[in-house]
Amino acid sequence: MTPKMYLDMGINLLMEGDAEQAITAFCAALQLDRSYAPAYNNLGLALKSMNRLQEAEACFCRAIELNPNDAYSYNNLGLVLMEYCDWQKAEDCFRRAVALEPGQPAIFSNLGTVLEEECKLVEAEAAYRQAIQLNPDYPEAHYNLGTFLKATQNFEEAEERLGRALLLRPDYFEANYSLATLYLLQGKFEKGWGKYDESRRKSVSYRRLAIPHWHGEDVSGCSILLCWEYGFGDTIQFARYAPTVAKLAAKTTLWVQKPLKRLLAAAYPDLPVYAGDCPPRGQYDYACSLISLPVVFNTCTKTVPRPVPCGAVSGSAVWREALTKIDKAKEYRVGVVWAGHPKHNNDANRSIPFHVFRSLFHVAGVCWVSLQVGERAADLAETAVNIVDLSGKITDFMDTAELLDNLDLVITVDTAVAHLAGSMGKKTWVLLPFNPDWRWLLEREDTPWYPTVRLFRQHKLGDWQEVVERVKIALQNEVRK
């Protein structure tokens, strides 16, 4: 067989989803011809499909070395660099690919994505629109432009573009999900809930159980399992529906993440609360994600159930004693969180650079208490201000709740702490990006989900400095009361 025959075989295998055998075929082509650039390019694609990124990168670089005018190798290398979040090098690759093949809409769409990540918004929009101009029936380009317009709050055209993506590809669940959250963000719950639940449950990350999904059927005499789906904050926010379900079903079991078990067992003492890695044993007539419950109950802003407090925080006195030793109970205690989980897909948008956030610490008369956990807790080394850091003693969310119980105010970005403090009825200020998560709605400073939460929103995309300055003024006024 010739190198070209092995190449064609590998391409067919890759299209059939057999990456392992495709790799074998491409390697066979290279055994016959070490300078066969197309084999390196396609080998890179197969390796990338298996998340073997370093090997894929090496293959694309070799393909470019052998054929410096191959736009597709530059494009594919750019996609790998995007996985590394190396935006500038990825941009360079896509721009080189565009120069070589200016008629390829996919390359313009990829370039737009990178430019958006780099906050080069005018150029990003132009790239997306060029992709559509080159191919008006390209659903991914309409989707990318739609999500971009949603992020920049051009909602009317965003809806149009996302709808167009769905017309071109009816099974495009990402576009359906983005359109659903666009409606929810605008408070159009009646248009958003159905799409939100449908598209979410089509996601590859959705947990599929061998139990019928509950859509709101009569569950009298039935057993139902309510299960967590995404992050800690989602579980805290939507667990409030559990008592309503319990009134309808004969037995209701709550399956939550381990760090939340003590907290939610205290909040819902009449419900079995389970926190294993696998579904709890037993017979269940129905299962339902906690995030599906507002859909089942057709929630609108006027019918949001009140949050359920976490119950008795018996360990609160221990934290009170620790804090009193520090501030003699004479200062205004403020807990702070400036960053969310680094692996959250929206972390770059919702977390605040510490060098910006730390200017809050210059407000006098405050005992600052860090609630930050994870790798960003190390940011405290960048300030000379005395910040109480008890994060090393926090083992789960009940510990956090007991600490929160001793604070006067919580200032946080959009993290689980915002939901926990809000559910406790604690005075809480949440700092939101220009493009917020749908649950915080638009423009308003309050939220129907948590009556004691005040929202501080970015007025300009990416401008955290102005938000922090507003929070600082508000805090100075609060401390003077």
Q: pLDDT tier at 390 (50, 70, 90 boundaries)? A: confident
pLDDT digits (tens, 9 = 90+) for 237-279: 999 999 999 999 999 999 999 999 999 999 999 999 999 899 9
Q: Is the pLDDT of residue 312 over 70?
A: no
149 and 14 in a common domain: yes
Q: Is the pLDDT of residue 314 over 70?
A: no
Number of domains in the chain: 3
Amino acid letter, residue 163? G
285 and 155 in a common domain: no
Q: Is the pLDDT of residue 368 over 90?
A: yes
Give residue 291's domain range: 223-296
On whether the CB atoms of residues 222 and 286 are closer than 8 A, the answer is: yes
Examine residue 303 and state whether it is found in any structural domain, yes or no. no
Q: Fill in the DSSP letter of residue 286.
A: E
120 and 227 in a common domain: no
The Cα–Cα gap between 105 and 24 comes to: 31
180 and 34 in a common domain: yes
Q: Is the pLDDT of residue 342 over 90?
A: no
24 and 172 in a common domain: yes
* Mean pLDDT of the chain, nearest integer: 94
Question: For the CA atoms of the chain, what is the radius of gyration?
Answer: 26
pTM value is 0.91
At how many degrees (to 10) do helices 105-117 and 121-134 cross?
Answer: 160
Examine residue 360 and state whether it is found in any structural domain, yes or no. yes
Residue 481: predicted pLDDT: 75
**CATH number of the domain to which 273 belongs:** 3.40.50
Residues of the chain above pLDDT 90, percent:
85
**CATH number of the domain to which 372 belongs:** 3.40.50.2000
Q: pLDDT tier at 131 (50, 70, 90 boundaries)? A: very high
pLDDT digits (tens, 9 = 90+) for 67-115: 999 999 999 999 999 999 999 999 999 999 999 999 999 999 999 999 9
On whether the CB atoms of residues 449 and 236 are closer than 8 A, the answer is: no
137 and 73 in a common domain: yes
Q: Fill in the DSSP letter of residue 452.
A: T
279 and 174 in a common domain: no
340 and 287 in a common domain: no
468 and 323 in a common domain: yes
